[in-house]
Amino acid sequence: MEKINVAVNGAFGRMGREVCQAVLDDEELQLAGAFDLQGIGEDIGEVLGKKKLGIVLRNLSSEALAEGKIQVMVDFTTPMAVMDNIKISLACGIRPVVGTTGITQVDLKLIEEWVEKAGLSAFIAPNFALGAVLMMKFAQLAARYFKHAEIIELHHDQKIDAPSGTSLKTAEMIAAGRREEPQKREELLKLAGARGAVAENVHIHSVRLEGLIAHQEVIFGGLGQTLTIRHDSYDRKSFMPGVLLAIKKIASLKGLVYGLENLLDL
């Protein structure tokens, strides 16, 4: 079987290094490029604590993408750079698999236009952990029976966007699963933001602390009871099965696909 040539953008970062290692460990994939604004000139093999691979970290550019016969580009960078990265990838005929958060609904519509123009496919997921996808699906199911829900999402202190893409996606799925909208209650906020942000009539509370990776709980309230659905990622390796699945499936997808649940039999 011919291997899929994969480039990783954001390869010097913690998630990027995990993706590079996962690609190297998979017999169906070939690491063909590593891009980042940091570590330029370093061999990615040495960055991973291994022998040299002959793949040097470079700035992302159309010229660099064209050199490695790259078929898929995985992007774990920043919300400020991700849109330009996706545009460059598609312009070079390369399908992007994106885990960078901070992509808005407006952004998704624009990406959809780029994908259609390029005649390719693109995959974006707010969370690549299989357990997180199930947590969101279970929350959508629970929303049929509990009108009131709140989300608490907790991430490491280096995550710059809030609320998380996972929490926003969860709020959308809760709204889609509801049979009726909860009535708004009168509130007296002694401090602005005390009740968190609101998306789809769901309150979202964001926590950013050293020591965390990625965690989320959805608390449903009903008559005399609560239901809590929680997922915890204690290691970035938890995201790798989902990333690898997206890399292998993207060539068979059409257009823009948003959310790992679309690749699973749920």
pLDDT of res. 221: 96
CB 236 within 8 A of CB 212: no
Q: Which domain CATH number covers 32?
A: 3.40.50.720
122-153 pLDDT, tens digit per residue, is 999 999 999 999 999 999 999 999 999 999 99
97-124 pLDDT, tens digit per residue, is 999 988 989 999 999 999 999 999 999 9
Same domain, 182 and 80: no
Q: Which of 154, 91, 155, 82 is nearest to 125 (CA)?
A: 82
Same domain, 15 and 113: yes
Is pLDDT at 189 greater than 90 in this prediction?
A: no
Is pLDDT at 7 greater than 90 in this prediction?
A: yes
Six-digit token string for 181 = 């909208």
Measured distance CA(83)–CA(63) in Å, rounded: 18
CB 68 within 8 A of CB 83: no
Is pLDDT at 44 greater than 90 in this prediction?
A: yes
Same domain, 68 and 169: no
Measured distance CA(37)–CA(223) in Å, rounded: 53
Same domain, 114 and 80: yes
How remote is the C-alpha of 185 from its chain's centroid? 33
Across the range 210-237, mean pLDDT stands at 97
Task: Enter the pTM of the model.
Answer: 0.86
pLDDT of res. 145: 96
Full domain range(s) for residue 102: 4-124+236-263
Across the range 143-168, mean pLDDT stands at 95
Candidates 155, 169, 205, 231; catalytic one: 155
Candidates 137, 148, 159, 249; catalytic one: 159
Same domain, 259 and 207: no
Q: Which domain CATH number covers 178?
A: 3.30.360.10
Same domain, 90 and 18: yes
Same domain, 64 and 107: yes
Question: Dihedral (C-alpha) 245, 64, 83, 132: value to the nearest 10 degrees?
Answer: 20
Measured distance CA(213)–CA(236) in Å, rounded: 7
The secondary structure of the chain, three-state, reads CCCEEEEEECCCCHHHHHHHHHHHHCCCEEEEEEECCCCCCCEHHHHCCCCCCCCECECCCHHHHHHCCCCEEEECCCCCCHHHHHHHHHHCCCEEEECCCCCCHHHHHHHHHHHHHHCCEEEECCCCCHHHHHHHHHHHHHCCCCCEEEEEEEECCCCCCCCCHHHHHHHHHHHHHCCCCCCCCCCCCCCCCCCCEEECCEEEEEEECCCCCEEEEEEEEECCEEEEEEEEECCHHHHHHHHHHHHHHHHHCCEEEECHHHHCCC
Q: In terms of DSSP bridges, do strands 214-222 and 148-155 run parallel, antiparallel, or are they unpaired?
A: antiparallel
Same domain, 115 and 182: no
pLDDT of res. 68: 74
Report the number of distinct structural domains present in the chain. 2
| Least confidently predicted of 32-36, 58-62, 170-174, 188-192 | 188-192
Measured distance CA(229)–CA(120) in Å, rounded: 36
Same domain, 56 and 43: yes
Backbone torsions φ then ψ of 220, nearest 5 degrees: -100, 140
Is pLDDT at 1 greater than 90 in this prediction?
A: no
Tell me, yes or no, if 159 is annotated catalytic.
Answer: yes
Same domain, 73 and 109: yes
Same domain, 107 and 30: yes
Whole-number average pLDDT of the chain: 94
At a CB cut-off of 8 Å and minimum separation 6, what does 2 contact?
Answer: none
Task: Kindly indicate the confidence band of residue 67, based on its pLDDT and cuts at 50, 70 and 90.
Answer: confident
Same domain, 46 and 170: no
Tell me, yes or no, if 155 is annotated catalytic.
Answer: yes
